[in-house]
A and B are shown apart, each in its own frame.
Chain A
């Protein structure tokens, strides 16, 4: 015989409960003692077990409905049984046995509900009772970030109330603005007795749409960490020095004019000169390891490349074996690979390079302080070419194009004298550059 499912009475004062969910679907088999549905009062939430075996034949309410206690909310029985005598809203026959089964003791009214905030995971579905949701939406409570105290971490009304009680008092306008613009009170307010005013919310409502907060891409986080660590864990300083760029410019002109010649850039030439200088300064072509120094026999040159995804520093292994044409081609290759994202991650490791060049000359930068890619001991910043007065003989001064060189080095590994001699050597190599191509 089909029997009605009844909304239980929870104590004498409760006249209705909020129905939260059916744990079984219509047509599904139900065993006595299995969870059948859930509901809640303003103080607690409950799960109701099936009181007999059968099949869930019909349901008369859904999530969020406020149902008077003792009302029929569904029917359990055998498939095919006539259930016409039951319908939504009918009260059970007077002789129907009403069990006041209490699954969960309602929380004591005085019991303190602890407010626990959590970080909402991306895409996670928030479990919240309809009653709690109504209140949260009315009062602009960010329920996604409250840890629920209901079954399975479900946020129930008392969690929302506890959250509200834990928050600074908000003025009516502040509540409206918070709800409409998704702002939160961040602390005590500047209004009456510390009330949060609209102007105390995260931002001024007038400018609320002025910014958006985005998660950083992974590469940005890596760069941030590496740069911050570099400045924290080394003793960096920068020496600036200029190199007469007349020869460099002449070579560039020559290469350009020559048909069929590779497009050897100023950067290629500077790097070529840097490699030559590094061969003479093993102390600079090294890694500082705290209690020891790793000297490289070969030059593995890192080159800072600006890409849409952020700064990348690919390395050319054994760069000192390459002709200028080879260097030129390899730079193009790795730079393109960085920009298209096809670069071998191994080549991006700061451990892979023995020294790095960062060239901002193209952008017109006249002087800067590059940040070392640890554990390398130095990095060379290459600046734009500017005319500078120079004694061109017999005390006659003329304007000569000069290329600025900015060497940042780790004073833990190198002393100023060594660093200066090295950057001077780079200048000498630039001023006396020769190559075949």
Chain B
């Protein structure tokens, strides 16, 4: 039988597209050599959020006395935390499987190998069976990039996001190479549990891409909690559990029970016969246009494999763009309102232009920033806590260009800013929106009004 759409990779790009396409009546086959859900569900977003929530509860309990709650003899179980993580992952992976059944998606639990593009369509082999589809969507994702630093190859003390989630014991000390989103979230988790965490970051600030001022604010908060930050520091050598880095020409050696390598990710473009199609690559990822089309007709790509956004929600939307166009609804991918969230405690969230990118693009903008304490509920729930909300608007028309927040639960309210940017709302429209009171989200409204003050 011939499928309308074959999808290789069942991460948030692939399984969401399969669900949408199935719902629209397309005949879909989804190939996945591991578990459904991809990195996101199995070794990324979901397991880390599960662990971080455990750590957050522990943090809250520890600081209960600030709220008049005394919790004595407090303890946690690393094993139980890991076990709960596995349970959550299993439940959600099962949920994806149910959805695939509901929308009549054929799931093939085998490694797919693209054979060729023929008059029949695109031919794929998996588990000894042949499949043919009119369209192909590649969602093979990315894997941790391990840089060629001496002493890294074959070093069992070095972990990526995958291995660190399988730890049996909590390390006493952890060196994290790369202070990006992945590095900071694991740093937050292990710091809460009492592990001595040291971060080595090559750039002059952690969390590249987020608002620089708020990233610095977060770094200072964690420095107080005991994380050691080494910025502008380049790792030159790893020897067993010892990490050597260079800063301002000075060489320093630090040691950790374990070393987390989180310097970046690289698209997976080999091992599934991509070369048999002659798909063009760009900077290591699959080159796509705004409709996620590759250079080969009927072949699409979505998600990390394209090599630039590396976010689950980007992947899902990219997959939806493909399905929309296949089912007759013209759609284009837009990247100007993709939110970024870091689930540290407090969370940092942002969408749209940062001050840095606006400057670099030469966009004429105005900016307003208010402390989170302007929102009553934030004060009620964050004893001694601080945070901020920053809004960038166009200088001439006041359209919302970017919103950046540090403070809980910014991850849950940033979508409001996404909608404002997607809809090209200006301050005038924003001023007329009613926000629920009392919520932390009111900080967005307060900041919008502060432009007029």
Contacts and interface: CB of A to CB of B under 8 A. Distances in A.
Contacts of A176: 397, 399, 426
A334 interface: no
A262 interface: no
B422 interface: yes
Contacts of B397: 173, 176-177, 180, 198
Given A173-B399, A176-B397, A177-B397, A192 B426 contact: no
Given A188-B330, A190-B332, A190-B334, A172 B429 contact: yes
Contacts of B422: 191-192
Contacts of A195: 423-424
Interface of A: 171-174, 176-177, 180, 188, 190-192, 194-195, 197-198
Interface string B384-420: 0000000000101101000000000000000000000
Given A171-B424, A172-B429, A173-B424, 5 more contacts: A180-B396, A191-B423, A192-B422, A192-B423, A198-B424
A176 B425 CA distance: 10
A191 B424 contact: yes
A190 B332 CA distance: 7
B371 to A, nearest CB: 28
A173 B330 contact: no
A95 B349 CA distance: 70
A173 B422 CA distance: 11
Contacts of A171: 423-425
Contact of B428 (A172, A192, A194, A198): A172
A190 B399 CA distance: 17
15 contacts: A171-B423, A172-B399, A172-B428, A173-B397, A173-B399, A173-B425, A176-B399, A188-B330, A191-B422, A191-B424, A192-B422, A194-B330, A195-B423, A197-B424, A198-B399
Contacts of B425: 171-173
A173 B426 CA distance: 6
A172 B421 CA distance: 11
A222 B389 CA distance: 62
Q: Is the interface of B mostly helix, strand, loop or mixed?
A: loop
Interface residues of B, number: 14
Interface in B309-356: 330, 332, 334
Contacts of A174: 424
Contacts of B330: 188, 194
Contacts of A188: 330
A172 B426 CA distance: 7
Contacts of A198: 397, 399, 424
B424 A172 contact: yes
Contacts of A180: 396-397
Contacts of A197: 424
Contacts of A177: 397
A122 to B, nearest CB: 31
Interface string B65-81: 00000000000000000
A177 to B, nearest CB: 6
Contacts of B429: 172
Contacts of B396: 180
Contacts of A192: 422-423
A209 B85 CA distance: 57
A140 to B, nearest CB: 13
Contacts of A173: 394, 397, 399, 424-426
A350 to B, nearest CB: 48
A173 B395 CA distance: 12
Contacts of A191: 334, 422-424
B85 to A, nearest CB: 36
Nearest to B430: A172
A378 to B, nearest CB: 48
A174 B422 CA distance: 12
A188 B330 CA distance: 10
A138 to B, nearest CB: 12
A187 B301 CA distance: 28
A173 B421 CA distance: 10
Contacts of B334: 190-191
Nearest to A188: B330
Nearest to A171: B424
Nearest to A195: B423
Q: Which 7 A-B pairs have the closest CB atoms?
A: A171-B424, A173-B424, A173-B399, A176-B397, A172-B429, A172-B426, A192-B422
A173 B332 CA distance: 20
A174 B396 CA distance: 13
A191 B426 CA distance: 15
A191 B418 CA distance: 13
B21 to A, nearest CB: 19
B329 to A, nearest CB: 9
Contacts of B424: 171-174, 191, 195, 197-198
B312 to A, nearest CB: 21
A166 B303 CA distance: 37
A115 B176 CA distance: 65
Q: Which of A171, A173, A174, A195 counts the most chain B CB atoms within 10 A?
A: A173
Nearest to B422: A192
A188 B332 CA distance: 12
A76 to B, nearest CB: 46
A174 B426 CA distance: 10
A190 B290 CA distance: 11
A290 B402 CA distance: 68
Nearest to B428: A172
A197 B334 CA distance: 12
Nearest to A190: B332
Given A177-B397, A198-B399, A172 B332 contact: no
Interface string B172-210: 000000000000000000000000000000000000000
Contacts of B423: 171-172, 191-192, 195
A357 B353 CA distance: 61
A172 to B, nearest CB: 5
A221 B334 CA distance: 42
A112 to B, nearest CB: 26
A190 B422 CA distance: 10
A25 B193 CA distance: 89
A180 B396 CA distance: 10
A110 B332 CA distance: 35
A194 B429 CA distance: 20
Interface string B140-172: 000000000000000000000000000000000
A209 to B, nearest CB: 13
Which of A172, A174, A188, A197 has the most chain B CB atoms closer than 10 A to its own CB?
A: A172
A194 B394 CA distance: 22
A254 to B, nearest CB: 63
A192 B421 CA distance: 10
Contacts of B332: 190
- Most chain A CB atoms below 10 A, which of B330, B334, B424: B424
A431 B394 CA distance: 70
Nearest to B399: A173
Contacts of B428: 172
